[in-house]
Amino acid sequence: MKSLPILEAIFVLCLFGAVAYPLHVLTGSAPAQAEESGVDVPDRALVEGFVTLRFAHPPQSVRLLDNDERVVFEAEITEGETRWDDAVQLVVEKSGASDVRIEAQWDAGFPETAVEVRMEPDGAETFVKTLWATGALDAWLSIPIHE
Amino acid sequence: MRKLFILVCFLSAALLATPVVNAAGMKVATLHPLLTDLAQRVGGEHVEVVSLLRAGADPHEFDPSPGDLARIRDARLILASGKELETYLPRLKSNLQGGQEIFEVGRNIPSLRIEHGPLYVCCPVHAHGSLDPHWWHSVSNMQRAARLLARELGRIDGANKDAYTAKAQAYSRQLDGLRDWARSELAQVARKDRILVTAHAAFGYFCDEFGFRSAPVQGLNAESNPSPAYLAETIGVIRDNNVKAIFPEQSANPRVLESMVRETGVKTGKPLIADGTGTGSAGTFEGMIRHNVSAIVEALK
């Protein structure tokens, strides 16, 4: 290779672009699972799933936490919103269940109200529970995953 | 220079043949018409959907031809129903191009097992004790499938992840309405009459969701026709429970049901769509549920 004629150099650069662009598209849009979850639980398994929360009255705040106080889900509150659906990752305890704590608050003056929690861990039966609260809710749920 | 030129040409050709997500949308191939409907609803304008199984075909018998494989060569994602419905999946996997993936939508949906003895069959593959593959007869399962598909599409095409999630949520809310409608319609059938006597064992998930008992009476082909003993048992169930009607299916041989009608004197309902391969307005998931629920209510109320 004594010298690079300019036409050949342009040709090689074009082909390099044709190689680099698909590689960027293939690898650039798929963040790693670990990065997304930010969780480090080496001795317990994680299972993906979905949560649906339905409130009879719109809350001021709502979030789900696991045994390690990790936030599993936190709602973005918009006025009047009473339902949230989101993908979540649950920690499966040695018992085969996932323990999740739900915290919610309502404006003062709301009557006793209901919250439906629906969890769909991958491959496991749907878990549905209705909880009742006045003003604030702080309750633990044990969601069976490996029975 | 010549070696470098050949190497770059080779790499370029290999990568250009790899399915990618481009501006025109990700190509998604489906192995079942209900998955085509689902992919279009969740993927919207961000996907181009290619369906291999035509409406009205039998998914238990389908096997993709070389022409079918050629049609999905540039699909980034291939959607299968899962639960061992597509017995050809191992062969299909061995023919995948680099970058192609198969997503079994039903894999993470809880399974029912086929019960009720050796005659409770839909095809030779799905005999007693195996997974019931007809998960699409439950509205809740289809809502779950929408969420699973949105997650999978978002994993591959991260730029449109929020759009897939939003579309799955909108579709799920639409299906809430469908389930409410179905419950309201089926409430017209007295509890004692909620027995679904059908041709093949496809309605377990439907019965589970809507509180019916299932009594399938035949397979799809001569080999899986029921024995005289099972027919006698089913006729006994029909008589003991004063079953009002039995239901043929669009893709099943009606002879056994006809003889049962003659034997018991019950009426025949409209054909149900068992395998999710309905045509016309019943070609979508919502259309199939509305068709089946309407046919059941009309015959049993």
Digit-coded pLDDT (tens) for A93-143: 988 999 999 999 999 888 899 999 999 999 999 999 999 999 999 999 999
Cα dist. B124→B85, B185, B273 in Å? 11, 34, 20
Tokens of A141: 């749920």
Site from A3, A4, A26, A27 to mutate, B interface, most B CB atoms within 10 angstroms? A26
Task: For residue A124, give the DSSP letter.
Answer: S
How far out from the chain centre does Cα B270 lie? 20
Cα atoms found within 13 Å of the Cα of residue B87, Cβ hemisphere only: 10
* ipTM attached to this prediction: 0.70
Best CA proximity match to B27, nearest among B13, B3, B46: B46
Task: For residue B53, give the DSSP letter.
Answer: S
| Helix H or strand E encompassing B78 | strand B77-80
Phi, psi of B226 (to 5 degrees): -75, 155
Task: For residue B285, give the DSSP letter.
Answer: H
> B147–A4: do the CB atoms touch at under 8 Å?
no
- Shortest distance between the Cα of A113 and any Cα of chain B, in A, equals 21
Q: Is the pLDDT of residue B186 over 90?
A: yes
- Distant-in-sequence, close-in-space partners of B247: CB < 8 Å, separation ≥ 6: B196, B197, B198, B199, B268, B269, B270, B271, B272, B295, B296, B299
Q: Specify the pLDDT at position B221.
A: 39
Q: What percent of chain B is modeled with pLDDT above 90?
A: 57
Selecting from B1, B16, B172 the residue whose C-beta is nearest the C-beta of A18 gives B16
| Rounded distance between C-alpha atoms, residue B16 and residue B24, angstroms | 15
> B147–A85: do the CB atoms touch at under 8 Å?
yes
How far out from the chain centre does Cα B154 lie? 23
> A26–B172: do the CB atoms touch at under 8 Å?
no
Q: Specify the pLDDT at position A4.
A: 55
What does the pLDDT average to over B164-192?
96
- Tens digit of each residue's pLDDT (9 = 90 or more) over B52-72: 998 778 888 888 998 998 999
Selecting from A15, A22, A30 the residue whose C-beta is nearest the C-beta of B20 gives A22
